[in-house]
């Protein structure tokens, strides 16, 4: 299940703002140890000061990404209690999201809710609707957070847990389905859950990509078991498709596809490139996704 997982090193590390050198040294060491142990999943790093200090990941994220041998890190900000902490005001949401867009990292809002403290929900209220809109319009993902199934952060009724049993109005139903930026209206279904598509190779095809990292051309060696229709799509970090190759009726055997630097362009967003290979055979449809790094 490794390719379906994200590993968070530490949830909300520390109760104060760390020095940049401490943040960098601690996390670069931890990431290296995890890679040395064979952990190849994306690794998530939370902001310090209970996850609230977004600047810690925004200022240090690009450095840590370079230190990671896999260049596969996600950086997370937890938006809580704007009145007491000051990091969740409208002005700060605007500043942090704008700053995140300028960085060449994967940044997400890893936690937020209608308020922080349920016994003082009015005085610790969060500007969550503005956050959802701002994040979505800037291609930044968000995760609504539920601390307890029976508290003010709950989205559905705890007794059933059923879709549609919304609670904590207007929070539950709005964040789930009503808002134009709700989970229902913005989330994308993973390919392994999509009807008729298996995001596993099942020996129908084998993909080898080399060199990776690369500086010039990158080669995709694709070995097919059966007569196959194939599509190879290349995306930048924003999810924008920058190249697509389609081939029909490929015979069993190994096929070479070469992607040149000219195809990828010079945009800094293509320093980390995502690819998706989809095949259709007599036995069904299959897909494989991966990442290549240009140096």
pLDDT per residue as tens digits for the range 21-39: 999 999 999 999 999 988 8
| Average pLDDT across the chain, whole number | 85
Assigned CATH for 2-191: 3.20.20.80
pLDDT at residue 243 greater than cutoff 90? no
- Region of 182 (left: φ > 0; alpha: ψ -120 to 50; beta: rest) is beta
pLDDT at residue 234 greater than cutoff 50? yes
Q: Which CATH class is domain 192-293?
A: mainly beta
- Interatomic CA distance for residues 73 and 105, integer angstroms: 8
Question: Average pLDDT in the 229-246 region?
Answer: 86
pLDDT per residue over 175-202, tens digit each?
A: 999 999 999 999 876 655 544 444 445 5
Please give the sequence-ordered ranges of beta strands (E in DSSP) within 3-113, or none if there are none: 7-8, 43-46, 73-78, 106-112
More confident residue, 199 or 160: 160
- Interatomic CA distance for residues 264 and 232, integer angstroms: 14
- Interatomic CA distance for residues 292 and 295, integer angstroms: 10
Report domain extents, the chain: 2-191, 192-293
Report residue 270's pLDDT band, with 50, 70 and 90 as the boundaries.
low
pLDDT per residue over 77-103, tens digit each?
A: 998 867 666 666 888 899 999 999 999
């Amino acid at each position: 299940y490794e390719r379906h997982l994200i590993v968070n090193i530490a949830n909300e590390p520390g109760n104060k703002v760390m020095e940049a050198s401490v943040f960098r040294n601690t996390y670069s060491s931890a990431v290296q140890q995890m890679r040395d142990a064979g952990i190849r999943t994306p690794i998530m790093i939370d902001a310090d000061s209970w996850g609230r200090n977004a600047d810690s990941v925004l200022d240090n994220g690009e450095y840590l990404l370079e230190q990671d041998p896999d260049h596969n890190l996600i950086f997370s900000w937890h938006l809580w209690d704007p009145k007491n902490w000051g990091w969740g005001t409208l002005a700060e949401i605007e500043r942090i999201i704008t700053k995140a867009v300028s960085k060449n990292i994967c940044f997400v809002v890893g936690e937020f809710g209608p308020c922080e403290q349920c016994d003082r929900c009015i005085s610790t209220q969060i500007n969550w609707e503005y956050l959802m809109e701002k994040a979505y319009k800037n291609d930044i993902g968000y995760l609504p957070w539920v601390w307890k199934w029976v508290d003010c952060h709950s989205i559905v009724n705890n007794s059933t847990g059923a879709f549609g049993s919304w609670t904590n109005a207007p929070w539950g139903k709005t964040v789930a389905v009503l808002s134009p930026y709700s989970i229902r209206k913005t989330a994308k279904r993973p390919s392994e859950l999509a009807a008729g598509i298996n995001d596993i190779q099942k020996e129908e095809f084998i993909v080898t990509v080399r060199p990776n990292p690369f500086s010039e051309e990158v080669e995709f060696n694709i070995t097919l078991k059966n007569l196959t229709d194939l599509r190879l799509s290349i995306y930048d970090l924003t999810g924008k498709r920058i190249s697509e190759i389609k081939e029909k009726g490929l015979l069993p055997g190994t096929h070479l596809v070469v992607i040149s630097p000219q195809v990828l362009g010079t945009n800094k967003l293509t320093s980390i490139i995502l690819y998706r290979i989809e095949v259709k055979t007599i036995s069904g449809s299959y897909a494989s996704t991966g990442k290549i790094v240009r140096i």
